[in-house]
Amino acid sequence: MVLKRFLSVIGAYKTYEKWLWFQVKNGERPEHIAIILDGNRRWASEQELNPWLGHKQGAETVEHLLEWCEMLGVKFVTLYTFSMENFQRPPSEVAEIMQIAEGKFRKLLTDERIHRSKVHVKVIGRVNLLPESLQKLIADVEKATAGYDKQFLNFAFAYGGRAEIVDAAKTIAEKVKKGELRVEDVDERTFEKYLYTSHMPNQEPDMIIRTSGEERLSGFLLWQSAYSELYFLDVYWPDFRIIELLRAIRTFQRRKRRFGT
C-alpha cells in the first residue's frame, strides 16, 4: 500500500512537471538567470543534521540546476554561493564550505558535460580571500573553459555587490590617475567594463530567484539587477526542483517588462 501511494505521488509529480513544461516551452525564456542559493543551514537544522550537510546537499542541487538550464536553453547562470558576510560564520563551517567547494571545482575540471556543452566557468568576487588551494583550482577551471561561449556559469564566491562597485571604481580611478582614461569618458557603459561580470555579453539577469522565503537581494548584483524580475519562493535550496524553476519561468513570462518606460 505504501509503495503504491509512493508511485502514485511520483506519477502525479511527473505529470505536473510535463504540464509546466508545456506551459513555458513556447514562451520567451530568460536568457540570464541568477539565483541566491539560500536555506542550506536551515534545511540541515530542521532535519537535525550538521550544517555542512546542508551545504553539501545544496552543492548537489546546483549540478541538477545546470542540467535543467541547459535543457531550457538558459545561456547565462549566476549563482550566489558565498558572500563576504559569510566569512563571519563559525570558522569550522567556513572551512567545511571551502572543502566542499574544492571538491566541486576539482570535479568541474574533468566534467564531461561542462566541456561537451562548452560552458564558460567564472568565479566572481574577491577570490584572493579564499584558501590558496581553492584559488588554484578556480584558476585551473577558468583557464580550461576560457575559450567556451555556448553557456556561461558564474559562481559569486567571496562576493559582495558593494565590494564589486568599489573595486570597479578603484580600477577606474587608477586608470584615470595613470592617464589611461579620461574622467569625462566615464559613463555607465565604461563602468560596466570593470564589473566582475564584464566577461559576459549579457551582464544583467533577466530574473533573480531567491529560495528559503527571504525577500531581499542581500547585496547580490546591485548594479546589474536594476531591471531584473525578482522571484521569491518558500523552498530551501537543497529542496529546489525543476518544477520550482519552471514555475519561476512561467511567472517571468506572465510579467510585462518595461525597463522604466
The catalytic site residues sit at: 38, 86
Q: Which three cell numbers stand for residue 3?
A: 509503495
**Contact criterion met (CB below 8 Å) for 34 and 79:** yes
Integer CA distances (angstroms), 166 to 124, 173, 226, in order: 14, 10, 17
At residue 181's C-alpha, the angle toward residues 175 and 185, to 5°, is 135
User: Is the dihedral angle over the CA atoms 69, 71, 74, 76 positive or is it negative?
Assistant: positive
> Which residues contact residue 97 at a Cβ distance below 8 angstroms, ignoring those fewer than 6 apart?
52, 55, 82, 86
